Chain A
Amino acid sequence: MNRPRSDRSDRLGVASHWLTLILAALVLGGCVNATVDEMTYNEPTAGIGESSVVILGRRHAPDYDTEFDFIECIGDHIHSGDPSIEVLNELAFINELYPWFEPRTAPMQPRAIDQLLQLPPVAQRFTEMKLEYMIWIDGNTVDTESTGSMSCGIGPGFAGCFGFGTWGTESEYEATIWDFTDKVEVGRVSAATSGQSYMPAVIVPIPIIAPVQGTACDSLGDQLLEYLSAHH
């Protein structure tokens, strides 16, 4: 007679255990640690006027590429913070200047811009773009250690998952600002962020993702906006 009560009690115990895990995940999830370093010179205190800025990702390393969507995120962040700043689209810029900004040919030092400007069509294109700052972003986001397990099943009239998984994510990016007029480096901003994501599943998996890359984007974007904008 007591057995059914005991089974129910066990089930309640397991449910309460998972509820605790989910609550813990909800509390802990989304936490991201961010470290930002900045060293800039010759800030354009009056802003950049009608000039434009291009943000480009470094993609010459053998084991990683700076993500295109991260570059787009920073550009959007700057433009939304100060709509007067024109941020050129990265892919369109690279295509318009092909082959001079491919991983093999992209300038690694500001003085290499002078060599590029010796090519009349390139010099003319830069003039048309009214380019004032070229910002290079180098880095990427990676998932680190992961633990936990989850199993999913499907049967007649039932489908669901059960388990718990967690993984870490780390972002590390450095932005190098080149003054296109003077052909000099005028600053570096770096952002390192990390966070832990969780995926508890009781029938339905509930991803609780730490916005690690988004935080890195916001952090770098804020610093670059502060540098470029007259209003921040």
Chain B
Amino acid sequence: MSFIEAENLTHVYGQGSEQEFTALQGVSFHIEAGEFVAILGANGSGKSTLARHLNGLLLPTSGVCRVAGMDTRKPQEVWQIRRQVGMVFQNPDNQLIAGVVEDDVAFGPENLGMEPAKIRAQVKMALQAVGMEEFRKFAPHLLSGGQKQRVAIAGALAMDTKCLILDEATAMLDPQGRREVMDTVERLHQQRGLTLLCITHFMDEAARADRVLVMEHGRLVQQGPPAEIFADAPKLHRLGLAVPLAVEIAWHLRQGGMQLPKDILTNDDLVAALEARYVH
């Protein structure tokens, strides 16, 4: 059994109305516990709709979504699912509820009915895990975008989440904030085996994943390791996406007749490959 199993997910908004719109069509995939998966796709390709099926915020029009063996359509199981699958949304300003950082992190555990002493321990642990404990008394509007997103991550960790979905959580951040958030979640992924699902427009973030899913018009059109997905740069451009710069450069050099390994993803990969090719 995989941690997340999506079978033939289809979602139709406004079914039967004039504005009927099929946002997801027959999407199937599995995600293993501890995996780091990136989801790519142009705006409107159905990425966010897909993500919202994975913690039962949306229910499939047809098809099934199971998390840790539980069905998102069963009302008695959905709370258990949401506890295990935390979500960080795009706009850092619209997901913190309380006027003080530590109270916000406590929001999830409070909803779960934990004992006050246990909540305090969870909040402390979660804020430490994202490096925000010194800001625990701060009001959210005094924090930077990256810091707000880290608080949102802590809010999920405090519920003992097993999996974190970042729904374009870095899209509205400056480069520093983006780095803060990605470093934080990658560290959690490595140290705690947190399952990571990253919806993003930043190809460098996707390049660090174990696996990449590519969406187009509500369909899952490609999945595989990043090197494999990015190998076909023209195809990604056709889908309205991009590839990491190192991949792009390598692609152009290959077009010029140069022999380079297929799995170049990062700057370091490219530099190493070019160094090896260079005859002093």
State yes or no: do A and B come from one complex.
no
A: residues with CB less than 8 A from B are: none
